[in-house]
Structure 1
């Protein structure tokens, strides 16, 4: 006969004592189980202790998470999160540097647990850590190692979302940005500093502005030229974050040196060109295989880069805009030079000039020979196709001229007109590369959920609508023996409660409510109903 589902068999350890093998009844209060464990080792004050996992992140076990305990799990008896937080708070401010370093190591490990993090933050632990970083006393022994653990603990605590990133001071931001901009800094400090700046940028628009004023594009790009792929990954992650927050008006500013651009101009076209060159030479063509996280960050950067083209892709050409029409004139001028310019033909009039233009536009391969601007009124590809054509004409002029002249002299059945081909090719590339189609929207994020069926494996889903999302979440919660907490369940409960209140109010008014529902009427003799209009 299988054991009851509410009973789990575990081993519980305590330093210097033999492990206890227990059968835990999940229906019993956790405090009662901890008291039983403490009594087994004759430990007083069981309220000072709690249970946590012995392996992995060693997370604390609470009433909310105890259902995750599996048969055969090894647990530890440990001091409670509140006592641990209080002790570490005192030790992190000790005058003994060795004791402070040990405290920071333990704090960095425990901060990943949300239960401990809540207790430590409630004791103003974040304020203490920021002050330690702001002091920047480099004369202390073990300074680099201690700072690395301090930054790790700070990042872990903030990642729980218990407090807002906006509480961070300008002094702290300058200190962290200083570690990123320094040419020679400990790798562990640099890695954590990049991660902290990324979180600040993603979680606060006001902090984005402050951080962007402290670092330049060149300082970030320099971290892509190192041999440490972890540093490269964190640097690209920060670049992506700055890219996401970059205001639209900063994306096309022209500067002579892209490395001197402030980080607010991360999406600037010149900075992007230099960034792509560095990534190609030092990351993609590097002598190390690209890891999963690096591949993901490169993918995100590629999506963000392509999305910059969306505005031009969705912009129709205005046939009355002289600046836009001048681009078409430039394409014609480069292809046929001055030899076909009607102004050089003696006695050329308006009609002859129009005929010459029409002939040239036909040779360029436009569909509308009279007004080629009309070829760019379809979106996509819109003005992006014209941008690509002009780039080819100016940067690869010989190739452009050869393509135009070769196709203009072919037979009709073999023709591949440059204009039409360029427009269709641009449209095809926009579809293949999904330009502008991969922006994450909050509505989609709210419909996503994951099933963890193995410590390292998950099944990820996106529900087609809110109703099905609620059905899935409630169904999975019911299977796991947890409360159903979706918005749909709450709405149903509200409806039932409202109905119950109405019934009780009717009862207070002495209005008789029948115990049984009214009888269902008999079926009609036939269903042939006729309605006569008046």
Structure 2
């Protein structure tokens, strides 16, 4: 019997439709090995179009509107609908002709189309090649340009053309930069679209051009924050924060601290987080970047070892002792001078300072300055401890005295645990690391207080002491306690508390017992999930007969022995 001949499907052939306004659509087979120019000639010939060289194919998908090229033709699938339109070259030349000699209405219509067309890389390259970018720049720079639509679409077109990263930002002159600065600083007089584009342009100039000095000089942080307060558009707010971030990253250390200080003012903090609900992902990312940049200013203290000559640091250590043991303040005498030189042993009279530092939980009670040599957390740990002692004096003294009265094996040493906790917090918040490009790990609570990190530490040190007691921990359980505390902090941060009080309330609910229960539930869930995994199921099926056979043999052996 002769076998039937089977038709082999040609993978290079795709069946598509081609549309053109006022023409009956064509259903064709496109050979992906055939040059597009040849196929376009066939399509034009079918419709009696005389100049096929001026035409090209476009994708019709609203989310994928671009010209079909030899590079992207593999995106054409069976059932695709393409549109026959003027080629990028002809469209670019027609656009330039309208921009050079058209009426105001024609220019407006043309620029509106250009703002969309410029998103396509093929068209953008043709337009730039024909010197179109220079015309757009001149239209933006023109101070006599009063038509808001022309300015709006010119700016939008420029933004899209520069998005393709083929032109250096260094080509821009001061006039262009000044024009964008004027729009941002006088935002009340311009449409939100103009402001959004101008903000985007200035951000790119700061990041990619030597002209950033002009932006840094002319655009004040107050201007941007005022814009942030008054803007009723999420995109405008997002672009304003992006520009603040760009200026922050370019600034020197002193300028960075000025920016952070200005942002920390309550009205500006509220402007930043007042738009927190329902914010788009890109807005969240920009806020996360700002959060990382402001917290990153702690890196200097985090990486700074305590210097024996650092008088301020020695005074802070003595202040910790005085606040906790103020009953002895009148007996300090000679010991103060000894401490000033870095010592911490016995002073004058009957006062033995080392015993106080031992009660404070320092490793080196003779010279507690030695505890702040390790980096991280460096001197930042001392800053946080002193802040806690000054701001929450009652809780501080309670923690110190409670622990000094416990049996040695159950003591939770304030000094040692505080230093380790600051190290853990720096690690959780990734202080000293650059912002991740795709992250949106924004924590609004860090924009709700003048000293957010220090307040964060205060809440966490109280949590740590509570957890230590709940676990009935000893010195040997130090790392075990910190693994629980780290988990308490991370789980609470994942809930994105809006402010520090909410963080305090949420972490208070995550007791040691709660963490233990959660771990157990997650372990059971994981085991159940693993047990239903295909590999485990197959293994069970494979070994089950052998196990059943073994059980059968054991039962028979037991019966034989019984007889």
Q: What TM-score do you get using the length of structure 2 for normalisation?
A: 0.68
Of 126, 133, 149, the match for 1:119: 126
**1:289 deviation in Å?**
1.8
Aligned pairs for 1:290-305 within 5 A: 290-305=279-294
Deviations 1:48-102 (A, max 9, x none): 1111112224211122222221111111111111111111112123351110100
Aligned pairs for 1:189-208 within 5 A: 189-204=194-209, 206-208=210-212
Q: Provide closer, same or farther for how the CA distance between residues 429 and 287 of structure 1 changes in structure 2, counting only shifts above 3 A.
A: closer
Partner residue, 2:278: 289
Partner residue, 1:326: 315
Distance in 1 between residues matched to 2:99 and 2:201, nearest whole Å:
21
Partner residue, 1:136: 143
Is residue 2:193 matched to residue 1:188?
Answer: yes
Of 225, 234, 238, the match for 1:229: 234
Partner residue, 1:306: 295
Contact 1:342 1:352 survives alignment (8 Å): no
**1:357 deviation in Å?**
3.0
Is residue 2:411 matched to residue 1:415?
Answer: yes
Of 12, 20, 35, the match for 2:18: 12
Partner residue, 1:63: 70
Deviations 1:393-428 (A, max 9, x none): 344445444544454445535533322221121112
Q: Provide closer, same or farther for how the CA distance between residues 369 and 288 of structure 1 changes in structure 2, counting only shifts above 3 A.
A: closer
Partner residue, 1:387: 383
Q: What is the SS of the residue equivalent to 1:315?
A: coil
Distance in 1 between residues matched to 2:319 and 2:23, nearest whole Å:
86
Distance in 2 between residues matched to 1:312 and 1:101, nearest whole Å:
55
RMSD, matched Cα: 2.8
Aligned pairs for 1:236-275 within 5 A: 236-252=241-257, 265-266=258-259, 269-274=260-265
Contact 2:321 2:360 survives alignment (8 Å): yes
**1:135 deviation in Å?**
0.9
Contact 1:144 1:186 survives alignment (8 Å): yes
Q: What is the SS of the residue equivalent to 1:92?
A: helix
**1:371 deviation in Å?**
0.9
**1:216 deviation in Å?**
1.1
Of 158, 161, 164, the match for 1:160: 164
**1:338 deviation in Å?**
8.7
Partner residue, 1:361: 357
Distance in 2 between residues matched to 1:115 and 1:287, nearest whole Å:
38
Q: What is the SS of the residue equivalent to 1:22?
A: strand
Q: What is the SS of the residue equivalent to 2:347?
A: helix
Deviations 1:445-494 (A, max 9, x none): xxxxxxxxxxxxxxxxxxxxxxxxxxxxxxxxxxxxxxxxxxxxxxxxxx
> Could you tell which deviates more after superposition, 39-48 or 281-290?
281-290
Deviations 1:228-247 (A, max 9, x none): 32222222222222222222
Contact 2:140 2:176 survives alignment (8 Å): yes
Q: What is the SS of the residue equivalent to 2:374?
A: coil
Distance in 1 between residues matched to 2:276 and 2:150, nearest whole Å:
33
**1:110 deviation in Å?**
0.6
Q: What is the SS of the residue equivalent to 1:309?
A: helix
Contact 1:220 1:239 survives alignment (8 Å): yes
> Could you tell which deviates more after superposition, 296-305 or 64-73?
296-305
Distance in 2 between residues matched to 1:81 and 1:330, nearest whole Å:
73
Q: What is the SS of the residue equivalent to 2:9?
A: coil
Q: What is the SS of the residue equivalent to 1:43?
A: coil
Distance in 2 between residues matched to 1:341 and 1:170, nearest whole Å:
66
**1:24 deviation in Å?**
0.9
Q: What TM-score do you get using the length of structure 1 for normalisation?
A: 0.72
Contact 1:364 1:417 survives alignment (8 Å): yes
Partner residue, 2:268: 278
Partner residue, 1:352: 347
Q: Provide closer, same or farther for how the CA distance between residues 396 and 145 of structure 1 changes in structure 2, counting only shifts above 3 A.
A: farther
Partner residue, 1:43: 49
Q: Provide closer, same or farther for how the CA distance between residues 292 and 9 of structure 1 changes in structure 2, counting only shifts above 3 A.
A: same
Which consecutive residues of structure 2, in runs of 5 or more, have no partner in the other structure?
Answer: 1-6, 339-344, 438-563
Q: Provide closer, same or farther for how the CA distance between residues 398 and 94 of structure 1 changes in structure 2, counting only shifts above 3 A.
A: farther
Distance in 2 between residues matched to 1:340 and 1:94, nearest whole Å:
87
Distance in 2 between residues matched to 1:193 and 1:202, nearest whole Å:
14
**1:23 deviation in Å?**
0.8
Distance in 2 between residues matched to 1:236 and 1:91, nearest whole Å:
36
Contact 2:301 2:379 survives alignment (8 Å): yes
Q: What is the SS of the residue equivalent to 1:251?
A: helix
> Could you tell which deviates more after superposition, 102-111 or 59-68?
59-68
Deviations 1:295-317 (A, max 9, x none): 22222222333333233222222
Q: Provide closer, same or farther for how the CA distance between residues 231 and 353 of structure 1 changes in structure 2, counting only shifts above 3 A.
A: farther
Q: What is the SS of the residue equivalent to 2:216?
A: helix
Deviations 1:127-158 (A, max 9, x none): 1111111113354xxx2222111111001101
Distance in 1 between residues matched to 2:346 and 2:393, nearest whole Å:
30
Contact 2:316 2:386 survives alignment (8 Å): yes
Contact 2:141 2:175 survives alignment (8 Å): yes
Distance in 2 between residues matched to 1:406 and 1:41, nearest whole Å:
92
User: How many residues are treated as equivalent by the alignment?
Assistant: 420
Contact 1:181 1:219 survives alignment (8 Å): yes
Partner residue, 1:262: none
Question: Larger helix proportion, structure 1 or 2?
Answer: 2
Distance in 1 between residues matched to 2:114 and 2:280, nearest whole Å:
29
